[in-house]
């Protein structure tokens, strides 16, 4: 178990149907039950199907989007969904699947040029009830272009992994940056290409055709996709 894992699992407990298992034991995923998901608050880690499921709620924000999922009580005016799941638990869940993080947005000299987030590629699906029927669709279908009102091309995200702060706290637990659609230094999951978080550069909004009513429960399933993004320099 690396230093980062040791820091975020300290004091955590994973609850299983058959009882409790100290989080320190997750260093050997093969020893965990393969038929029933591991449970964390608002989160399920399904080792058998290699996926993490995060419980969220629809926000129906009217502002341009900076996040797909933010922590409840965070930047809810610019996100599609909010979640009460802890960011470090999402990180831990992906580690339990054997997925190692890359790096979030960072800056390089000279001129503090931006380097795009890197990491293993992820695919995400949203599941919820709307108008009395079960709906399952790719994450990107719940957003659209602000100007054209057209659907987005399929998106792939990366497990960037946020950072540890100088006081040892997991940064995304503090900022609430779970899944961002523009680049931030502390996002757990981000886009692998440079996208500015300046207000005048924001391009996407919720797609009311697909987003369920406010406060509706939405489960976001996070799975590994093929490939890895290496990042690139920006201005």
- Per residue in 50-80, pLDDT (tens digit) is 999 999 999 999 999 999 999 999 999 999 9
Q: What is the H or E stretch that residue 92 is in?
A: helix 87-96
pLDDT band at 20; cut points 50, 70, 90: very low
pTM of the model: 0.83
Q: Which tens digits make up the pLDDT trace of 34-54?
A: 567 889 999 999 999 999 999
DSSP β-bridge partners for residue 119: 229
- Would you state the pLDDT for residue 34? 55
Is residue 16's pLDDT more than 70?
Answer: no
Tell me which of 109 and 99 has the higher pLDDT: 99
CA-closest candidate to residue 218, choices 137, 121, 156: 137
Task: Tell me the average pLDDT of the chain.
Answer: 84
- Would you state the pLDDT for residue 114? 85
- The answer to whether the beta carbons of residues 189 and 178 sit under 8 Å apart is yes
Between CA 171 and CA 186 the distance in angstroms is 6
């Amino acid at each position: 178990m690396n230093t980062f894992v040791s820091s975020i699992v300290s004091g955590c407990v994973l609850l299983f149907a058959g009882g409790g298992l100290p989080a320190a034991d997750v260093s050997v995923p093969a020893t965990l039950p393969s038929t029933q998901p591991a449970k964390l608050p608002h989160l399920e880690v399904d080792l058998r199907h290699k996926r993490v499921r995060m419980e969220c709620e629809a926000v129906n924000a009217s502002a341009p989007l900076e996040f797909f999922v933010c922590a409840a009580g965070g930047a809810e005016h610019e996100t599609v969904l909010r979640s009460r799941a802890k960011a470090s638990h999402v990180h831990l869940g992906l580690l339990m699947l054997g997925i190692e993080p890359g790096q979030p947005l960072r800056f390089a000299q000279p001129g503090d040029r931006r380097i795009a987030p890197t990491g293993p590629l992820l695919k995400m699906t949203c599941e919820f009830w709307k108008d009395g029927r079960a709906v399952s669709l790719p994450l990107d279908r719940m957003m659209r272009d602000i100007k054209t009102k057209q659907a987005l091309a399929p998106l792939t995200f990366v497990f960037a992994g946020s950072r540890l702060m100088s006081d040892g706290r997991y940064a995304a637990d503090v900022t609430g940056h779970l899944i961002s659609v523009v680049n931030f230094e502390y996002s757990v999951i981000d886009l692998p290409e440079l996208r500015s978080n300046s207000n005048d550069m924001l391009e996407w909004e919720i797609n009311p055709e697909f987003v369920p009513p406010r406060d509706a429960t939405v489960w976001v399933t996070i799975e590994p996709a093929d490939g890895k993004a290496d990042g690139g320099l920006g201005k």
